[in-house]
Amino acid sequence: MKNMISKSKNITQLESQLIGSIDELKKALEHAQDIMETIREPFLVLDTKLRVITANPAFYNTFKVLKKDTEGTLVYQLGNRQWDIPELRKLLEKILPKHTYFKDFEAIHIFPAIGSKTMLLNARKIHHKNLILLAIEDITQRKELETQKDDFIAVASHELKTPVTSIKAYTQILKRRFEKRGDATAVQNLMKMDAQINKLTDIIGKLLDITKIESGKLVFKKEFFDFDSLTEEIVKEIQLTATNHKITVKGKTKRRVFADRMRIGLVLVNFLTNAIRYSPRAAKVIVHLSAGKKTVTVGVQDFGIGIEKTKQAKIFQRFFRAARPEKEVHPSLGLGLYIASEIIEWHNGKMWLKSKVGKGSTFYFRIQSE
Ligand code: ADP
């Protein structure tokens, strides 16, 4: 009798535990559903065979498909096979099983109902649940705006180039005239004006370069040249304008490279001007040259403000600017390193940096040599 009572007590206990668990499960499910409904981006939950378990309202709204045609259907067969995108297939079938997730994959696809769309796809495999979460962000509009912005920069900088070039020419004519007349003050003022025009030309040049990079129109001209001579030439040129810093070159590569001389020179100019600009309290900049097996490496070291670790990864992005030195007077667009990294990438080279806040930075690049 005592035994029976304790058994039925156990069963009641189990029953209430079970009801509790079901309640928790229901709550978790409701919670998950609430999250799905709230997410503004289209979102799919797939099983490992790539069948849709659920889709959120944003998915139905964006891609104009119905729930009854979606749930239980293979992702590729959705809405007249409009999701049968080769890149997506590769990602879901080849990449995801190995890597468990993929991030920010850009795909352009023409959908019958809604036309051409650029999408950013993010997916994650949840192992213990055998589920795949696929988030789809429609970035068509953002891309269009970016193109418009790039077109605007391209047209504006192109239009600016001609008048600035002729202002520079007139400045030089005037300077010669005042020199003849022996008007030293006017000559000095015109030289200051010329220096400012050079800065303007530099900015316009950078803007033109990025628009060409974006549209793939940047033309490179490769030639054989002596790497150490180019470095020396650039160092001399920058030293002329740097009044507070002594630039020294350590080492030699003794190599010839086959590259775009002018553009590799631009990368060096960018490294050096940054090294000077971002080390206002230091007195030296060191250029390290070395050669490896069929490669040359340059490192431009400064003893300036340095760059925070979190910002270092972003430093080569377009328009990115990290910390500013105090009392800055130079124009700064955050374009120089972006252009430099594109130039080095075009040469199949590598660019990287080492930096410590308050201690200084060294920017490196390595390209192939003979
Ligand atoms: P800009 O100097 O015109 O802003 P860059 O692309 O050349 O553009 O540099 C991007 C940002 O990286 C700069 O704004 C600056 O914050 C940081 N940076 C570049 N070089 C250095 C350096 N040598 N030391 C410290 N910060 C630097």
Could you identify the atom of ligand 1 that is nearest to the CA of residue 321?
14
Domain span including residue 260: 223-368
How many helices (H) does the chain have, and how many strands (E)?
11, 12
Structure tokens at 246: 């002594």
The pTM for the full model equals 0.64
> Which of 200, 315, 317, 364 gets mutated to test ligand 1 (max ligand atoms within 8 A of its CB)?
315
Nearest CA to ligand 1 atom 8: 334
Do 229 and 353 lie in one domain? The reply is yes
Please check whether residues 202 and 231 belong to one and the same domain.
no
Query: Which of 138, 158, 183 represents a domain boundary (last residue)?
Result: 138
> pLDDT, tens digit, for every residue of 121-180?
898 888 777 788 899 998 999 988 888 888 888 888 888 888 998 999 999 999 999 999
Whether residue 288 lies inside any domain: the answer is yes
* Domain total of the chain: 3
Is residue 336 included in any domain, yes or no?
Answer: yes
Give residue-wise pLDDT tens across range 43-74: 999 988 889 999 999 999 888 888 888 999 99
> How far is 209 from 150, CA to CA, in rounded Å?
11
Distance 123 CA to ligand 1 centre (A): 34
Whether 268 contacts 298, CB under 8 Å: yes
Cα separation of 316 and 294, whole Å? 25
Q: Whose C-alpha lies nearest to ligand 1, atom 7?
A: 336
In a domain, 299, yes or no: yes
Q: How far apart are CA 140 and CA 116, in angstroms?
A: 8
Establish if 27 belongs to a structural domain. Answer: no
Looking up tokens 């077109």, which residue turns up? 151
Contact assessment for residue 275 and residue 236, using Cβ atoms and an 8 Å cutoff: no
Mean residue pLDDT of the chain comes to 87
> Are β-strands 360-368 and 295-302 bridged in parallel, bridged antiparallel, or unpaired?
antiparallel
Residue with tokens 């979606």: 70
CATH number at residue 62: 3.30.450.20
**Domain final residue, candidates 215, 250, 275:** 215
Distance, in Å, from the CA atom of 362 to the CA atom of 354, rounded to the nearest integer, reads: 5
Query: What is residue 283's predicted lDDT score, i.e. its pLDDT?
Result: 95
Structure tokens at 15: 């029953």
Residues of the chain with pLDDT under 50: none
The last residue of one of the domains, among 167, 198, 215, is: 215
Sheet holding 350-356, edge to edge: 246-250, 284-292, 295-302, 360-368, 350-356
Pocket of ligand 1 (CB under 6 A): 270, 274-275, 278, 302, 304-307, 315, 320-323, 332-338, 361
Q: Kindly state whether residues 125 and 160 are assigned to the same domain.
A: no
Q: Whose CA is nearest to atom 13 of ligand 1?
A: 321
